[in-house]
Amino acid sequence: MKQSLIRYIAPGLTWLLALPALAQQIPITPTPQQIVPRQSLTVDQVLRIVVTVANVMLAFIGVIAVIMILAGAFYYVTGGSNEETLKKGKNLIIYGLVGVAIATLAFAIVGFVNNFLQRAAV
C-alpha cells in the first residue's frame, strides 16, 4: 500500500515543484511580432456566431429529447404489469415529445429572428 502511494504521489509532487520553473519561461511582455492589431466584429459576424451557438444548443436539446423518448419507450415496453414502470415510461415519452416540440419552436424562432435581423441590417 505504501509503495503504491509513493509510486503515484511522487510524480505529482515532482510536477508540482517544477511548475514555478515552468512559469518563468513565459515572457511577460509580448514582442512587437506577437502583437496583433484588434479587428472589430461586424454585426453580421456577431449574428452568425449567435445563430450557430443557438443551433448547436437546440440540436443538443433535440438529441436529449429523443433519448428521453427512447428511454420512455423502453420502460413502457419492459414494464409488463408494473404500473409504476408504465407510468414512468409514459411520462418520459410525454416529456420527450414536449422537449422536441420546444426545440422545434425555438429553432423556428431563431431562424425567424435571424432572417429579420439580416433584412434589417441590409
Q: What is the pLDDT of residues 36-83, one digit of tens each?
A: 777 787 878 888 888 888 888 888 988 999 999 999 999 999 988 889
Domain annotation covers residue 31: no
Residue numbers of the domain that contains 57:
40-121
Number of domains making up the chain? 1
Q: pTM of the full predicted structure? A: 0.60
What integer pLDDT is reported at residue 91 of this predicted model? 93
Domain annotation covers residue 69: yes
Q: What is the pLDDT of residues 77-113, one digit of tens each?
A: 998 888 999 999 999 999 999 989 998 998 899 889 8
* Closest alpha carbon to 22 in 14, 10, 31: 14
Domain annotation covers residue 64: yes
Report d(CA 47, CA 44) in Å as an integer: 5
Q: DSSP states of 43-92 as a string?
A: HHHHHHHHHHHHHHHHHHHHHHHHHHHHHHHHHHHH-TT-HHHHHHHHHH
